[in-house]
Structure formats: structure tokens, C-alpha cells
A and B are shown apart, each in its own frame.
Chain A
Amino acid sequence: MTTVEARGLGKRYRKFVAVDDVSFTLEPGRTTALVGQSGSGKSTIAKLLLQLERPTSGQILVDGEPVARRGAAAAAYRRTVQMVFQDPYASLNPFHSVGHHLERPVRLHHRELTGPQVRERVLHLLERVRLTPAEEVARRRPHELSGGQRQRVAIARALAPEPGILIADEPVSMLDVSIRLGVLNLLADLQREEQLAVLYITHDLATARHFSDDILVMYQGRIVERGPADDVIINPRHEYTKLLAEAAPNPERRIKNLQP
């Protein structure tokens, strides 16, 4: 059970302000959706949370404690926060087998395990993301899998260190429409089983509303609107949120317009 809090987080690249004074809390068992257009700073927030980039202002707190950048505490943070990348075609190394991708994080974060135990855990992870037969999938290379299967491997990899926080950066935007729901449902199931805190980054309001408890709307590096998912969608207050809600296809409104 871990809570991660971003307090006044900011990131500027020279003069360009990517993220400006962003605060939010990720709590166990809750999904927070981060919605915004391309370039609004969503992915920068993910990178800041993952310590791939250093914030220029503000801080990240884990259970109230500021995050360490080095040493054992930094390694513990790595275990706590994991990520599912957007593009499953780029996030798996073409040279290595699926098994390798899962073995490494298991080994790194559970040094006490022996070879067979690691193996067992890898197969278990594959079964949890519904990739069966696990033994055969572990032997395969990424290019032998479909996009959806790859993304499941990426999800399994993120779960391998047994994290408390999962960041999903547009996890289905590169996938076929027909399998998006399956991957999202899988994420939701895993979240419920593990009591994960999930940050779901997307620009799809419909799935954000369906899968998350809270929604944060970002616009040009700032959070312009926040609140419980239904509230934000049904009563959007900020101009940009209204625009987003308008842009989403709404069959009921369409039918109403068709029938005079």
C-alpha cells in the first residue's frame, strides 16, 4: 500500500514550460485519469513520476517522504512505481525473448529467488495477463506476438516488481479498436486484485470516465479541472473540457438530433 503525491510539480525545458505547478495524489485502489491533448504535459508527468526526468520545481512524496534519487531508497522507489508504455511495438526489445523481459525485473527486485523460482514467477505473471500457454509465450520473441499480446507482456513486466503505483501512458492508443477493451479490462482487474494506484493517461474521455474514479484535465501544462469522473464529464466547467466532451462521439445526442 503506497501513496504517491506530487506537490507543485513543474518542469521547464529552457524557456518552454512543459508542466506547471501540478499537484495530485495517487491512492491505493483508485484510478486517476489524466486527460489532455497532445503536448499538454501528460507524458512529462509520467516521466517525472518515474524519475526519468528531474523536476525543476516541486517534489514527489512517497507516503509523505520525499523521493531519494540514489541508493537503496531510490531502488525501493523503482519497485514502487512502474509503467506501461504507449507503444507495445517499441517498448519490447526485439533481440530478447518475452521471458527475458519478465525475468529481469523479477530478479532485480527479488534477489533472494533462485533460478527455478524466478522461472515460476515469470510463468505465473504471463498467466495473470492471460497469455497462455505461458511456457511457449515466454520462449517467443516480441515480433512473433500481436500488438495486444505485446501490450499484455508490457503489463506483466510492469507488475513483475510488485509495484504499488502503475502508470499507464495511453496503453491502448496503438492497439486495434477491437482489443482495446480487453486490455483495459485486464488492467482494471489487476488493479482490483492488487489494490494498485493507477494513473491512466489518455485523451479518450469515454474510457477515462468508464475506468477511473477521478479525472484530471490538463491544458498547456496546467491542471485546469479535476474531480470525480462523472462530475467532470457531465458538468464540465473549463472551456477545454467542454470542447473535449463535445468532441467525444455521443450516440444519444446524435439520435436526438436525427429525430425531429
Chain B
Amino acid sequence: MSAARVRGLPPMTAKLAAGLLIGGFVVLFGLLGPLVVQDPSRVDDIGLTGPGSGHWLGTTQTGQDVLAQLAYATRGSLTVGAIVGVLTLLLSAFFGIVGAYAGGWVDEAFSLFTNVMLVIPGLPLVIVISSYVPDKSLLLVSLVLSLTGWAGSARVLRGYTLSLRNRDYVLASRVAGERRWRILGVEILPNLIPLLASQVVFAVIFAILGEAGLSYLGLGASGSFTWGTMLYYAQNGLALRLGAWWWFIPPGLLLALFGAALSLVNFSIDEIINPKLRNQTRAARRGWRMSRAQLEKAKEATL
């Protein structure tokens, strides 16, 4: 058994490698891209031009460089993903794990609150907020997305914690005289790490797609670049009808690629939580087939 397996890291499968590679490229682009490209808002009088020298990904209707916009948009979308990921982790861990571990009325109250938050629909809430706040920042949009998104994870975590807290090894550490917070932090939490990781990755996907959806509807953060706002302006600028594929395909493609990459990472994490999934991939099933020689033998036996 290798060291990586023992420490609880997922095995490096093709799935995980592909996910990390694509995700890593997108993150690098978002981090370093804005440092090297031109000002994404600079207007030029060349108008809508296709990809070529000077503008690798062409320009928008007002002559803004698409590559520059894409770099800033990647950074914006990833920022939303990161903020929502962290907030979801904190909120769902607090309400899910602490509630379930404390039990009694605390659990009842937290669980009720989680259920209430679960049914608050995100989109109408944002519409309501946008009508009150004229100047929405990226942070505000992220806050709203995490407030409406953490409840699902909290329920998953609560269920799992409920099962963990009555395991014999938790009882054993109570018998040994461990303090309650130490049992939670040292005995229970490490066993929740794979689940937490998968919930966070899921939350990041949800946040980036959610933000893109809101921005596309014109409800996103004002004055900032995300993949969603790029698509929104492309739609407004009739990019599709004008055949300006370089305007809407790059942000759409990055959105899809990053979502796919995170999903691939998530699948790998899921396989740690539920090892049964590992044998259900097509590659694993191929291993069950009879070899050519065995097939020949079987055929002969039936003849």
C-alpha cells in the first residue's frame, strides 16, 4: 500500500489527472492572464474584428480585446468560486457537523434553520436584492450565492456526522476521557475530510455556474468581468447573429471546461468515500471480460 493511499489522498487516476490539469490551466490563466493582457475596457475604433495579429481572440463590437476580457473574466469567475467555496465550507460545517455532534435542541434548531435555508430560492432572492442595491459588487453576489447554496451540503454533512458520532471509536475516546471538542476535531473531523472536499468542489461548480446564470440575465455584479457578463454582452451585441464566434465561444468553453475539470476531481474524491464506484467504471468492467483464450475454451465446451 503506497504512502498516498494511507494518508487518504485519492489515487492518481486518469480522471483525476485530467481534472487537475485542465483546472490548473484555467486557474493559472486567471491568475497570470490579467497581468500580461491590455486593459479589457479599452475601446478601439476597429469595431468587431475576428482573431488575428494584435488581437489573438478578436475584438468585441466596441473594439475591446476579447483575450483581455477573457483573462479578467476568468479571474472574476474564479474569485466568486473561491469565496463561495470557503463560505459554504464554513457555513455547512458549522451547521451540519457541529449541530449533529451536539445533538439535542441544538441539532433540532440547526436542522430547522438548514431546512429553511434549503428552500429559499436563490434567483428571486438575488432579484429582490438587486432591486434594493443598485451597485452590486462581486462580493455581494458571492455572499448571496453562498447563503442560498450551503444548506444542501450541511444536510449531507449532518447525516454523515450522525453516523460517525455513534461509532465505537468515538465512544471509546469518550471512555478514555477525551474532551468533547477534541473528539470532534481529532476523531470525527478527519474522517469527514473527503466528504468536505467533495462538497466544496461541488459548491465551487455551483457558484461559478450560478454566477454565470445571474450575469447572463443581467443580475450579476455591476462593473466587473466574469464569464457570465461576457456572455451577457455578447448576447446584447448580437454576437451570434453577426457570426462573431470568437466573442461567445471562449467564455462558454472555459466555463464548460472548468466545470468538467472540477467534476472529474469530484468523481475521484467520491471514489474514496464510496469505493464501490471504483469498480463500476467502464475501464474496470473491461477487466472482468474473458480473455480470448478463455472465450475459445468456453466455446469449445459448449459445442
Which residues of A does B touch, CB under 8 Å?
Answer: 50, 52, 75, 78-79, 81-83, 85-87, 90-96, 104-105, 108-109, 141, 144, 154, 157, 160-161
Given that A90-B168, A91-B169, A92-B169 are contacting pairs, would A144 and B175 also be in contact in the complex, using a CB cutoff of 8 Å? no
Given that A91-B168, A95-B191, A144-B1 are contacting pairs, would A52 and B177 also be in contact in the complex, using a CB cutoff of 8 Å? no
Would you call A52 and B6 a contact (CB within 8 A)?
no
Would you call B177 and A83 a contact (CB within 8 A)?
no
Residues of B within 8 A of A81 (CB): 175
Which of A81, A91, A144 gathers most chain B CB within 10 Å? A91
Give residues 172-224 of B contacting A (CB, 8 Å): 172-178, 186-187, 190-191
Extra A-B contacts (6), CB below 8 Å, given A81-B175, A109-B177: A83-B172, A85-B172, A92-B172, A108-B176, A108-B178, A154-B172
B171 at the interface (CB under 8 A from A): yes
Query: A87 touches which one: B8, B168, B176, B177 (CB < 8 A)?
Result: B168
How many inter-chain residue pairs (CB < 8 Å) link A and B? 58
Residues of B within 8 A of A93 (CB): 169, 173, 187, 190-191
Would you call A105 and B177 a contact (CB within 8 A)?
yes
User: Which residue of chain A has its CB nearest to the CB of B164?
Assistant: A93
Would you call B177 and A108 a contact (CB within 8 A)?
yes
Which of A78, A83, A104 gathers most chain B CB within 10 Å? A104
Given that A94-B191, A95-B190, A95-B191 are contacting pairs, would A104 and B173 also be in contact in the complex, using a CB cutoff of 8 Å? yes
Query: A52 touches which one: B8, B167, B175, B186 (CB < 8 A)?
Result: B175
Would you call B187 and A157 a contact (CB within 8 A)?
no
Which of B167, B169, B173, B175 gathers most chain A CB within 10 Å? B175
Given that A93-B187, A95-B190 are contacting pairs, would A161 and B172 also be in contact in the complex, using a CB cutoff of 8 Å? no
User: Which residue of chain B has its CB nearest to the CB of A77?
Assistant: B177
Would you call A78 and B191 a contact (CB within 8 A)?
no
User: Which residue of chain A has its CB nearest to the CB of B190?
Assistant: A95
**What are 28 A-B pairs at a CB distance below 8 A?**
A52-B171, A52-B175, A75-B177, A78-B175, A78-B177, A81-B175, A82-B175, A83-B175, A85-B171, A86-B168, A87-B168, A90-B168, A91-B168, A91-B171, A91-B172, A92-B169, A93-B169, A93-B173, A93-B187, A95-B190, A96-B187, A96-B190, A105-B177, A108-B176, A108-B177, A157-B172, A161-B176, A161-B177
Residues of A within 8 A of B176 (CB): 78, 82, 104-105, 108, 157, 160-161
Residues of A within 8 A of B171 (CB): 52, 85, 91
